[in-house]
Chain A
Amino acid sequence: MKLFGWIVILLTALPCAADDQVCETLKISGGTHWFPFFFRELPTEDSLLPSDQRDRLQGRNGILGDIVLLAAKRANIPVIITEPKPWRRILFDLSQGQTDVLAGALKTEERAELFSFSDAVYYSEFRLFVRRDKQFTFHQLSDLKHRNGVKLGGMSFGQTVDSYIFDNLIMEEVSETASLFRMLEAKRADYAIFHLNSGLEIIHQLAMDQTLVALPNAVAKEPIFVAFSRRSRCSAQISILQEEIRHMLGDGSVAGITDFYNSLIQLPPGAQLGKDANSYYASLFGIRVQ
C-alpha cells in the first residue's frame, strides 16, 4: 500500500509545472454556436437569417462576444478567443483561471461562489415551443397542467417558475438541445421551454419551421451576464474590463449592440437597423482564435 501511495504522489506531481503568472492576453470563451449571444463562426446557409443579414455579421461574435470584445478594445486589453470546448469544460477552465472571461452565462448561487459577474447586459426570453397543429392558449403556467413538457436537464427559469413546474407540471428532461425539438416534432411532448431566439434558430437548422412554432407569451425573462474568473492571472485587467462594461451599459454602447442583433432577428430583411449599430463594429478587428 505504501507503494500505491508513492505512485499517486508521483503522478499527481508530474504535470504540475508552474503556469506562467504573467498576463499577456485575456482568454475569452463562450458557447460554440449560441446565436445570437455568442458564436465563433458566422451562421451558415441553414440559418434563419437571410444571406444579406448574415453578411452583416462578418467579424462579429454575438451580443455577448461583441460586448466583451468592444470593452476590451476600448480598454486596450489584448484578447484571445479560446477554441470551442464543451460547456462543462468552459466552466471548469473559468473556475481554474485557465479562461479569464466567459461571454454569456446565467447567474446562479453556485456560480456566484466561483465567478464574479458583470451587471446584466441582456435579457433572454424563455418561450413555449409547440407543434404548429397543436397550438394552445398560454397565459399563465396553470395552462400547462396535464400537458407533457420537456426541457433541457438542469435548466432554470427562475425560482418562481421552477417551483411551479416542479410542483404542478409533468416535465421530462433531456441532455441535448436538439432532442427538445425532435421530441416535440415526434409528438412525444406537448411543449418545450427554451430561449426564444436560440430556439427559433435551432428549429430552422433542424428544418422544423413548418412543424414547430413559439407561442406568443413568455414563460420567463432571465438576465444574461458576463462571468469572470476569480483565479485569473489577469485580475487587474478583469477589473478594468468590468468597469468598461459598466460604462458601456451607461453610455448606450451595449444597447447599440443589442439593438443591432434584435433588428437582425426580429425585423424583415431590409428594415432599418438600430441606430449607429455598425459604428461599434468598425473598430473591431484582429481577433485570433487560439
Chain B
Amino acid sequence: MKIPDLKRVMTGLLALVVSQGAIADNLFYGINDESSRITTVSASKHDEDLFASPLSISVLTAERIKNSGATSVPEALRLLPGVLVREQTNGVYEVHLRGLENAPEGNSLTTLNSRLTLLMIDNRIVYDYFDGGLFWQSLPVGMDDIARIEVIRGPASALYGSNAAQGVIHIITKRAANSGYASASVKAGTSNSSDLHAEAGTRLGEHALRVSGFTNQRDRFQETYYSFSDGRYVAASELPNSDSFKPYPDPNQALKSNAISLNLNNSPESQWHYDISLNHQDSESHRIYISSEDSPFTYNTSETSAMNALLAYGNLQTRISHQWGENSAEGFPDFNSDMRLTQASLEYSFRLPKWLIQPGIYREEASYDSPFIGGKRDLNTTAYMLRTEFTPTPASRLIAALRLDDYNVPSENYPSVQLLGSYKLTHDTLLRGGVMTAHRSAFMVTHYLDLTFDYPGQALSALVKGDPQGKLTQVKTYEVALRKQLSFNHWFEVELFRTEADDFLGSVNEGLVTENGFTTSTIQIQSLPSQVTQHGLTLNWLYEQAQWDLNVFLTGQQTRVESQIESLNAPLTTYDTTNRGTPAVYGGLDFNWRAAPTWFLNTNLYYLDDHELRVSRPISQIDFSSRLVANVTLRHDFWDGVSGYISARNLSNNQDPQYFYTDGIDPLYMIGVDLTWIR
C-alpha cells in the first residue's frame, strides 16, 4: 500500500465531515430507564457513547471480565482487538498495542518491553521511566477492583502525554455504590495458583468509601532458566555467575503480589467533586527487566505506594498524583532504584453552542535514584494542552488536540497533535478518520546512563553512555474507520491504519580505542537510522442474541523497516526489510452463553500468527510458530450473593514459550467462589 492512497482517503473523509447532515435520531434512547449504552471517557476526556467515539477504542466491562474468568489484567486484554499479549511465566505478561515490539529488530533485549503503550489507573499514569515499559505484575489493582478497562489503539499523546505512542490502556476502578456491602472472591488452581480478593464499601452521607485488598500467588511452570552461553534451559545453579550474584532466590516463584487500596469520593455531579485514592503494593516476580548476559529472566521485587486525588469545581478540574517506592532486580544491586513520580494537571472545559474547548496545563516530575544511572536523576516536563471539539452539524464532529511538552531532558520541546473527524452517514453508520502524532519519553537509562567498568587485572575498561540530548521516538498514524450498527447490539467496525515511526534508540558499540596501552570499549546509546512503517487492518464484529453473544476480532498488519541495522556495531550498516516481530495476523473470539438462568458459559480464544523476535545484545533469535489459546469458564449462581466457577485456561496447540526464552506455558485449571453481602 502506498502512502498517498490512504492520505487521499483521509482528505476525502475530512471534506465529507464538513458537509451538512440530517439530525441523527438516536435509536436507543430511553425514556426514564437507563439506555444501558456503553460509554467511554478516555477517547475525548468526557463521557460519550462508545459508538460515537472518534478514536479506535474498545471497552472491557467488569461483567465481561468476570464472565471470561480472566485472572489478570493482561489476560483480560486478550478479549480486545489490537492487543498483543504474551505470557512470560505463570501470571506475568508483556502487552503491546498494535505491535512494533521488535521494530527495528536486533536491538537490545529490553527494547522488547512495551515502551510505546501508556498505562493509566483512574487517569494516573503508571509507567516505568527507569528503562521504559509497564509493570503489570506490580499493579495495585485486583480483577475485582476494575469497573472497566478502556483501550485506545493508536497515538494519544495529545490527550495523555508521552508514551501513548501506540495507544493507551486505561483501567477505571470501582467506587462504592451501595449503602453498605462487602464481598470476597477466592480462586485456586494448578501450579500453586491462588488469588484472594476482599472489598467493602459504604456511603457516608454524600460520600462513598471503598476499601479493598488482594493477595496473589503463582508458581512457575518450570524451574529452569535459559542460558545464553549454553543455548538451553538449565538449573539456576548452572548459570554463569549464579554463585556470586545469586540472582534467583526462589526459582519456583512466578509471581507473588499483595495490594491494598482505599478510595473516598463524593458524587461526580456535585459542584465540588473530589475523588481520592490511596494504594500500596508489594510484589515479586520473574520477568525480563534489565538485560542480563546470562539469562533473560531477572527476579524482581517492587514495593510502591501511590496517591491519586481529583478535585473539580464545575468544569474546572485539577488532579494530583504521587507514587513512590522501590524496584529491585535480585542479584543486580546496581539496577535497584528508589523512585518518585509526581503528576499534576489543571484543565477547564468551556462550552459554547457547537463548541467544546478544553485548555490545560500538566506538570510531571519523575525522580529515580540508582547506582546504574550514577545517583539521583530527574525527568521533568511541563505540558501545555488545548483540545477543541467542533460539531458543525449533528452528524459530524471535528476535533483538534494539541500538546507541547517542554522537557528538561532532552532540551528540545516535543509537540503532539490529534486531528480527528467523524461523520454519521446514517443513524447507524459512523465514518471516522484522523491523523495523530505522539512520542516516547526519555528514560533514565537511555538518557542518563554513564557507566565505566574496569576489568580486574586487565588494561581494559568499558564505557556505557546514554545521551541526555537523545531524540525521542516519534510516531505518526493515519487512520480511517467505519462503524456500522446492523441492529441492536449487532455491529462491526473496520479500521485501517498506517503508522510511521522513527528515532528509535539503540546502544551502539563504537569499538575499542587503545591509548597508552589501555583499551576502552564504548557503548553509546544513540538514535538509529531505522524508519518503521506499519500498515494494518482491524476487524471487530459483535453479535448478540438474547441468551448469547459473540465477539470476533482480527488484526492483520505488515511492518516494513527502512534502514534496518545489520548489527549494533559501529559503523552502522543498514538494509530494508519486512519486520516479522509483530504477527501478521492476531485476534480472538469471545463467546458468552447464558445457558440457563443460573448457568453461564464463556469460551474465549486468542490467536497469534507465527512471528520472530531477534535481539543483538545478547545476539539471539527465536521463531514463534502460530498458536491458539483457549479459555473456558463455567459459572453458576448458587443463590443470591453466592456464585462459583471452574475454568480451564491456556489450552493451546503450542505450549512453547511465548516470549524471549521465557517459560513454556502450561494449561491452568482454576476453581473459584464469589461471595457478596449487601446491607
**Interface residues, chain A, CB within 8 Å of chain B?**
1, 3-4, 7-8, 11-12, 14-15, 31-34, 37, 86-93, 95-96, 98, 104-106, 108-111, 114, 148, 152-156, 159, 162-163, 166-170, 172, 174-177, 179, 182-183, 186-188, 195, 198, 202
User: Given A154-B28, A166-B23, A198-B31, A87 and B36 touching (CB < 8 A)?
Assistant: yes
Is the pair B589, A88 in contact by a Cβ cutoff of 8 Å? no
By beta carbon, the residue of chain A nearest B27 is A110
A32 to B39, CA, bound (A): 22
By beta carbon, the residue of chain B nearest A167 is B353
Taking the closest CB of chain A, its distance from the CB of B276, in whole angstroms, is 19
By beta carbon, the residue of chain B nearest A93 is B546
30 A–B contacts from the bound complex (CB under 8 Å): A1-B585, A3-B628, A8-B550, A8-B589, A11-B589, A12-B543, A34-B32, A86-B34, A87-B34, A87-B35, A88-B28, A88-B30, A88-B35, A88-B36, A91-B28, A92-B487, A93-B546, A108-B27, A109-B427, A110-B25, A111-B27, A153-B26, A154-B35, A155-B26, A168-B353, A174-B47, A177-B32, A177-B34, A182-B267, A183-B269
By beta carbon, the residue of chain B nearest A183 is B269
By beta carbon, the residue of chain B nearest A163 is B23
Taking the closest CB of chain A, its distance from the CB of B178, in whole angstroms, is 15
Partner of B547, one of A15, A90, A187: A15
Is the pair A110, B36 in contact by a Cβ cutoff of 8 Å? no
Is the pair A37, B31 in contact by a Cβ cutoff of 8 Å? yes
Name the prevailing secondary structure of the B interface residues.
loop
Is the pair B30, A31 in contact by a Cβ cutoff of 8 Å? yes
Q: A32-B33, A37-B31, A104-B31 are in contact. List 16 more A-B contacts (CB 8 A).
A: A11-B591, A15-B545, A15-B593, A88-B28, A88-B489, A96-B488, A108-B27, A110-B427, A111-B27, A152-B30, A154-B28, A166-B353, A170-B353, A177-B32, A188-B271, A195-B31
By beta carbon, the residue of chain B nearest A124 is B31
Which residues in B have their C-beta under 8 angstroms from that of A174? 47
Most buried by B among A86, A111, A169, A202: A86
A170 to B354, CA, bound (A): 8
Most buried by A among B27, B37, B543, B607: B27
Q: Does B352 interact with chain A (Cβ within 8 Å)?
A: yes
Residues in B421-435 with C-beta less than 8 Å from chain A: 427-428
A31 to B35, CA, bound (A): 11
**Interface residues, chain B, CB within 8 Å of chain A?**
23, 25-37, 39, 47, 49, 267, 269-271, 314, 351-354, 391, 394, 427-428, 487-489, 543-548, 550, 552, 585, 589, 591, 593, 595, 603, 605, 607, 628
Most buried by A among B27, B32, B427, B607: B32
Which residues in A have their C-beta under 8 angstroms from that of B595? 15
User: Given A110-B25, A154-B26, A188-B271, A87 and B314 touching (CB < 8 A)?
Assistant: no
Which residues in A have their C-beta under 8 angstroms from that of B545? 15, 96
- Of all A-B residue pairs in the complex, the 7 with the closest CB atoms, nearest first, are A154-B26, A86-B36, A154-B29, A92-B488, A87-B30, A182-B269, A88-B36
A7 to B605, CA, bound (A): 9
Partner of A109, one of B25, B31, B547: B25
A93 to B487, CA, bound (A): 11
A155 to B34, CA, bound (A): 12
Partner of A110, one of B428, B552, B605: B428
Taking the closest CB of chain B, its distance from the CB of A224, in whole angstroms, is 8
Taking the closest CB of chain A, its distance from the CB of B322, in whole angstroms, is 28
Which residues in A have their C-beta under 8 angstroms from that of B49? 153-154
Which residues in B have their C-beta under 8 angstroms from that of A90? 33
Is the pair A95, B589 in contact by a Cβ cutoff of 8 Å? no
Taking the closest CB of chain A, its distance from the CB of B51, in whole angstroms, is 10
Tally of A-B Cβ pairs under 8 angstroms: 148
A8 to B553, CA, bound (A): 11
Taking the closest CB of chain B, its distance from the CB of A223, in whole angstroms, is 13
By beta carbon, the residue of chain B nearest A149 is B351
Which residues in A have their C-beta under 8 angstroms from that of B488? 88, 91-92, 95-96
Is the pair B351, A172 in contact by a Cβ cutoff of 8 Å? yes
Is the pair A186, B269 in contact by a Cβ cutoff of 8 Å? yes
Is the pair B29, A152 in contact by a Cβ cutoff of 8 Å? yes
Taking the closest CB of chain A, its distance from the CB of B555, in whole angstroms, is 13
By beta carbon, the residue of chain A nearest B33 is A87
Which residues in B have their C-beta under 8 angstroms from that of A31? 30-33
Partner of B28, one of A14, A87, A93: A87
User: Given A110-B25, A170-B353, A188-B271, A195 and B34 touching (CB < 8 A)?
Assistant: no
By beta carbon, the residue of chain B nearest A86 is B36
Which residues in A have their C-beta under 8 angstroms from that of B585? 1
Taking the closest CB of chain A, its distance from the CB of B603, in whole angstroms, is 7
Is the pair A108, B25 in contact by a Cβ cutoff of 8 Å? yes
Partner of B31, one of A14, A34, A159, A168: A34
Most buried by A among B26, B31, B35: B31
Taking the closest CB of chain B, its distance from the CB of A142, in whole angstroms, is 12
A110 to B429, CA, bound (A): 12
Which residues in B have their C-beta under 8 angstroms from that of A187? 271, 314
A259 to B98, CA, bound (A): 61
Taking the closest CB of chain A, its distance from the CB of B349, in whole angstroms, is 9
Is the pair B36, A89 in contact by a Cβ cutoff of 8 Å? yes
Which residues in A have their C-beta under 8 angstroms from that of B314? 187-188
Taking the closest CB of chain B, its distance from the CB of A86, in whole angstroms, is 3
Is the pair A175, B593 in contact by a Cβ cutoff of 8 Å? no
Taking the closest CB of chain B, its distance from the CB of A109, in whole angstroms, is 6
A177 to B35, CA, bound (A): 10
Which residues in A have their C-beta under 8 angstroms from that of B31? 31, 34, 37, 87, 104-106, 195, 198
Is the pair A170, B269 in contact by a Cβ cutoff of 8 Å? no
Which residues in B have their C-beta under 8 angstroms from that of A166? 23, 353-354, 391, 394
Which residues in B have their C-beta under 8 angstroms from that of A92? 487-489, 544, 546
Partner of B23, one of A89, A104, A111, A159: A159
A33 to B543, CA, bound (A): 29
A3 to B428, CA, bound (A): 32
Which residues in A have their C-beta under 8 angstroms from that of B269? 179, 182-183, 186, 188
Taking the closest CB of chain B, its distance from the CB of A218, in whole angstroms, is 17
Taking the closest CB of chain B, its distance from the CB of A187, in whole angstroms, is 5
Which residues in B have their C-beta under 8 angstroms from that of A106? 31
Most buried by B among A91, A104, A176: A91
A14 to B594, CA, bound (A): 12
